Amino acid sequence: MENLNQYIEHTLLKQDAGEIDLIKLFDEAKENNFFGVCINPCYVKLAAEYLKDTPVKVVTVIGFPLGANTTETKIFETINAVRDGADEIDMVINVTKVKDRQTDFLIDEIKLIKSACGGHNLKVILETDLLDKDEIKYACECAIKGGADFVKTSTGFVKNGVGAKPEDVELMYNTVKSAGLQVKASGGIRDKQTALKMIKAGAVRLGTSSGAKIVER
């Protein structure tokens, strides 16, 4: 696949990642012409400055990794991230509210965070390892009603979690495609074969820390 690099958001979200590690990530993203990098909010300024003369987008995470922050906290994080130079926002949905079917809360939170994005793309991380198929579909429907641009599978931080699965990506794609939303697969994508399976299932973005390996010839 010739343009596989443009599906990849080269990701580094580890708690102990240092500036040297991040610079390596940025350099790999530039060298491979990846779509973007995905990093924690405290490094958005660094990423935006380092990548300012490149087409590589800066993506950051909000309410990460649990999604259980207050809505006000998530809004504040989003405003700060955009101010610091983030091009796209990946927010973690409140998984408990999904399981409790608190529809109004979920839709309102997504709407408020989308508004705080200032026109930038908002991806809603569903954490599919913790949801059954009906809950995945329900969370996607809330993302549609909340005005999100993408739904995303996983944070990659669930203990013993699998992360992205092709069948979940396909379910998400089939649920949101008629509303114009797109799908990002993330979590456990460590080789080209897996990456291609996610794309075949409907993903247009891949969140992975193995981007350089995936595009190796």
Is the pLDDT score of 1 beyond 90? no
Domain ranges of the chain: 4-214
30 carries an active-site annotation: no
Q: What's the count of helices (H) and strands (E) in the chain, helices before strands?
A: 9, 8
34 strand-pairing partners: none
Q: Is 1 helix (H, G, I), strand (E, B) or coil?
A: coil
Is the pLDDT score of 47 beyond 80? yes
Catalytic residue among 129, 152, 165, 168: 152
77-118 pLDDT, tens digit per residue, is 999 999 999 999 999 999 999 999 999 999 999 999 999 999
Helix boundaries (H) for 35-189 = 44-50, 71-84, 95-99, 103-116, 133-146, 166-176
The percent of the chain in helix, strand and coil, each rounded to the nearest 5, is: 50, 15, 35
Catalytic residue among 90, 129, 149, 168: 90
Residues of the chain with pLDDT > 90, as a percent, come to 98
Domain 4-214 belongs in CATH node 3.30.470.20:
no
152 carries an active-site annotation: yes
